[in-house]
Amino acid sequence: MGARRPRRREQVMTATARPRVGFVGLGVMGSAMAGNVLATGAFEVGGFDIDADRRRAFAEAGAVAYDDLAALAAASDIVLTSLPSAAAFAAVLDGLAEHARPGTVVVETSTLDLRTKLDGAARLAGAGIEMLDAPVSGTGAQARTGDLIAYVSGAPEAIERARSLVEAFTRAHFELGDVGKGTLMKLVANHLVAVHNVAAAEALGFAQDLGLDLRQVLAAVGDGAGASRMFGVRGPDMVQGRYEPASIRMDVFAKDLEIIGTAAAEAGTATPLFDAARAVYRDGLSDGLVASDTAVVFEVLRRQPRPNEPAPSGRRESTSITDRKEQP
């Protein structure tokens, strides 16, 4: 910790050298963030993913694709991680702790539980590496246009070194204090995402039953007090029945929901709206909508029994989401 490591690293770089940034995890979010950083021309951008096709696409976009994590870690001044699970994070930690040089800053953008983040930061600190807990808020589509918010927490010196990188792929970022505060803020944000997404789906279903043109609903309601970011971002997909390719998959978001539920229980917070919304996502997963975008909760709600209708015995009958015609 302390300021000596960053100064030592800066002495290694020439006055004209661009910071070398390595992206670990080139999925929907990681590749989009890397693309925006690459477009600035201010950084040397490399990347690694266990998926060879993702590495190939990354190289075709003009960045350097590494065949292994060790090579990326050794070559990078700053490493940004965008990972799907705690298990993936643990595997990457092993590689970074062994191969990244002391003084490297790791910007960890994944949505993981607080204990995993704190343990990871401590593990890297033991190797002389500073980790920033910096999860991002936004969808894959928003990531492609740089419309992300980052919740950055960690040592001020590390934040200073990473600030220009974070600004390259976000619309705004918030510097929140000690490691872990970023994750806590992201849990609050995703709590609202979960509820607002289901609320948007329910409202559009209501409008459909009233015989309204759903495109007009998107324009008129979206311009009023009832609007939300999820109504604007997910609403068009709901209206068009467009759920693949997913900007965020149902099974991936389910992991976030479990983290939020656990954190709320530990905090002693009553979450009746979140609990009701989570039940809708669980119904969708039970119906096999694992790889669909989370906008598919619109279909999940439309399948549910109507008021005064008897609930079908046993499991609800699932209908194909492709059966619903796009609104005229």
Q: Are 284 and 292 in contact (CB under 8 A)?
A: yes
User: Alpha helix locations (H) across the chain?
Assistant: 4-12, 28-40, 52-60, 69-75, 86-99, 114-125, 140-144, 156-169, 181-209, 214-222, 229-240, 250-267, 272-286, 297-303
d(CA 165, CA 80): 9
Q: Are 96 and 69 in contact (CB under 8 A)?
A: yes
Q: What is the pTM of this model?
A: 0.86
DSSP β-ladder status, 78-81 and 20-24: parallel
Instruction: Print pLDDT tens along the chain (328 aa).
Output: 333 233 333 333 344 489 999 999 999 999 999 999 999 999 999 999 999 999 999 999 999 999 999 999 999 999 999 999 999 999 999 999 999 999 999 999 999 999 999 999 999 999 999 999 999 999 998 999 999 999 999 999 999 999 999 999 999 999 999 999 999 999 999 999 999 999 999 999 999 999 999 999 999 999 999 999 999 999 999 999 999 999 999 999 999 999 999 999 999 999 999 999 999 999 999 999 999 999 999 999 999 998 877 665 554 443 334 344 343 3
| Three-state secondary-structure class, residue 47 | strand
d(CA 90, CA 67): 19
Annotated catalytic residue: which of 181, 186, 255, 325?
A: 186
Question: Does 181 participate in catalysis according to the annotation?
Answer: no
